[in-house]
Amino acid sequence: MLPSVPISPLTFSVVVPCYRCAECLPELYRRIKESLEPISPRFELILVNDSSPSNDWLVIRQLAAEDTRVKGVNLSRNFGQHHAITAGVDQALGEWVVVMDGDLQDQPEEIVKLYQKAQEGFDVVFAVRENRQDSWHKRLSSQAFYWVYNRFSNIQVTPGIANFSICSRQVMDEFRQLRESSRAYWLGVLWCGFRVAYLPVEHAARYAGRSAYNLRRSMNLALESISSQSNKPLRIFMELGFLIATGSFLFTLFLVVRYFVYNVHVEGWTSTLVSLYFLGGLVMMNLGIVGLYLGKVFDETKGRPIYIVREKLNIADSSQKRES
């Protein structure tokens, strides 16, 4: 059972998963502070180190020592970006929770626009990236992800959105109840429902370093997201199997009629072999899909935690939170 989040005097919680972005963090902190302080100085910046091989945690320590509004969460190993986001959201106390990447492609100045849009009566506002400042292969992998996901999932995703968003306290409280191990932050938020808006924002080039995402990772994320959010692939291949079986039955009747009525013999084995290989491939594909879903059931039955925290900075423990 997760500890309850108390009524907080904080206005904003900004959650940033960190992996190989040590050079970006000081600039990220400066720009977030400059963007939010004119609205409210009552904010917190939660930096989650997802076991980065660079100096992310060292930089987080330095920032937390300079400003107690900077809070650090150091995970015991690399759990993945969306697990790191969950670790940060679990610590967030603000009335509004902003999630963004740490490479400064999500620009801190856009947070104000997201917040203003939310004030129009929306519980969630997603940033839609325009004129993406990415390499062609990253844009291609992103487009491939949206195409694959929207074809095989029950939840349709607007192309161009990612983690950069602002959510109300109510949405975050509901999101925190989702504890499955296969997760994507923005898909979980969309599943929760509520009033969602989309706001075009300027997308910047990466401030420093290189992205860890590529075409293979994007396709893996799509498969992971689809299998965790929808059983549509199982239904699609069940329908395909029914169509193939029906077509095979009708073709068999056609051959029988030709043989007995018109005395036409079926010669050669080429079509038979091709059909066998085709059906064998479909069977193997179906077994793989079923195995994927069974594997996810196995993972969930283990009941393991989504993440493990090694160290925290400027964060009170659960008992202190409940007493506050």
pLDDT number for residue 320: 39
How many C-beta atoms surround the C-beta of residue 294 within 10 A? 10
User: Exposed, middle or buried, 301 (CB in 10 Å: 0-12/13-18/19+)?
Assistant: exposed
Task: Give the Cα separation of 76 and 221 in Å (integer).
Answer: 22
List average pLDDT for each run of 10 residues in the chain, which is 324 residues long: 57 94 92 93 94 92 95 94 94 94 90 94 91 64 72 73 91 92 85 91 70 62 68 70 73 76 68 68 74 73 87 73 36
Selection from 310, 306, 308, 316 nearest residue 71 by Cα = 316
Q: CA of 26: how far to CAs of 21, 56, 64, 221, 257, in Å?
A: 10, 10, 11, 29, 78
Which segments of 119-267 does DSSP mark as H helices, in order? 136-152, 169-175, 185-192, 215-229, 232-261
Bridge-based pairing state of the strands 70-75 and 43-49: parallel
Q: Let me know: does 144 contact 222? Beta carbons within 8 Å.
A: yes
Whole-number pLDDT of residue 322: 33
Identity of residue 231? N
Which fold does the domain 12-213+304-323 belong to in CATH?
Answer: Spore Coat Polysaccharide Biosynthesis Protein SpsA; Chain A (3.90.550)
**pLDDT (tens digit, 9 = 90+) per residue, 185-240?**
888 898 888 999 999 988 776 656 566 655 566 666 666 767 666 666 767 777 77
Give the model's pLDDT for residue 91: 94
147, 140 Cβ separation under 8 angstroms: no
What are the residue ranges spanned by the domains of the chain? 12-213+304-323, 232-301
Q: How far out from the chain centre does Cα 192 lie? A: 14
**Model confidence pTM above 0.85:** no
Cβ atoms of 18 and 104 closer than 8 Å: no
